[in-house]
Amino acid sequence: MIRAIAIDDEPFALEVIQKLSAKVPYLQLDGTFTNAFHAIEQLQTQPVDLLFLDIKMPDISGIDFFNSLQHKPLVVFTTAYAEHAVTSFDLDAVDYLLKPFSLIRFIKACNKAKELLNIRHVTRLEETDFMMIKSGYDLLKVFLDDILYLEASGNYVTFVTFNQTFTSRMTLAECTELLTGNQFIRIHRSFIINKKAIDKLERHQVSIQGHTLPVASSYRKEFLSQVHNS
């Protein structure tokens, strides 16, 4: 069951989402809010998997509100303006719904969220040799042994592999939950590396496939211990 809430300053828009949600058997709409700030308590105290969020609101835009959240659920942006689709893409949204949207279009967005949540659940529970990572609107299958290192920048992580480099909207902490086994280690607040990919180890840095990465002093002792014991 996907637990969701909806935020929109137009009561009629919330009524539409309520009616459509009732037709999706795996979706549970736990709350609707015309004021984004009134939704904060529920987001902080109750599990929310999915957020239906209007972009253009009077007190705060949906984009600014979403960016302010420390723990971000999946988000489907709703908007009456087609140009906002690009912005929702940049924020790595599950989907965007252009008002007025149909039941079929609503279900399509819900199905995308369901697929993402299922993949996230399976990846966390099972020991696998790969992970599914969302980049833009794409889901990419990444084999763990192909990963060279991860680099964080704000709310984004860049995956550098043998074959490709891409960016996903997530944190290093979230990545750590998905990385199974003990071959990955954090060497810096911005870097996690694959120990198997190390070409050269120096006091304050490591070299991986031509990339030189810093080893922060706060991580050095644990890093050296793991490398020497592996």
Splitting the chain (230 residues) into consecutive groups of 10 residues, what average pLDDT does each group show? Answer: 95 97 95 94 87 92 87 89 59 84 95 82 58 83 90 91 90 78 87 92 89 90 76
For the entire predicted model, the pTM comes to: 0.57
Q: Which helix (H) or strand (E) holds 205?
A: strand 205-208
- The pLDDT, as a whole number, for residue 190 is 93
Instruction: Determine contact, residues 101/6, Cβ cutoff 8 Å.
Output: no
- The pLDDT, as a whole number, for residue 125 is 43
Question: How many residues are listed for the chain in this entry?
Answer: 230
- The pLDDT, as a whole number, for residue 89 is 52
Distance CA 29, CA 215 (A): 45
Q: List CB contacts of 207: < 8 A, sequence separation 6 or more.
A: 198, 199, 200, 201, 213
- The pLDDT, as a whole number, for residue 65 is 92
- The pLDDT, as a whole number, for residue 183 is 86
Is the CATH code 3.40.50.2300 the one for domain 2-125? yes
List, in sequence order, every beta strand (DSSP E) within 130-202: 130-135, 138-143, 147-153, 156-161, 165-169, 184-188, 191-194, 200-201
Instruction: Determine contact, residues 51/76, Cβ cutoff 8 Å.
Output: yes
Superfamily holding 130-229: LytTr DNA-binding domain (2.40.50.1020)
Q: Where are the domains of the chain?
A: 2-125, 130-229
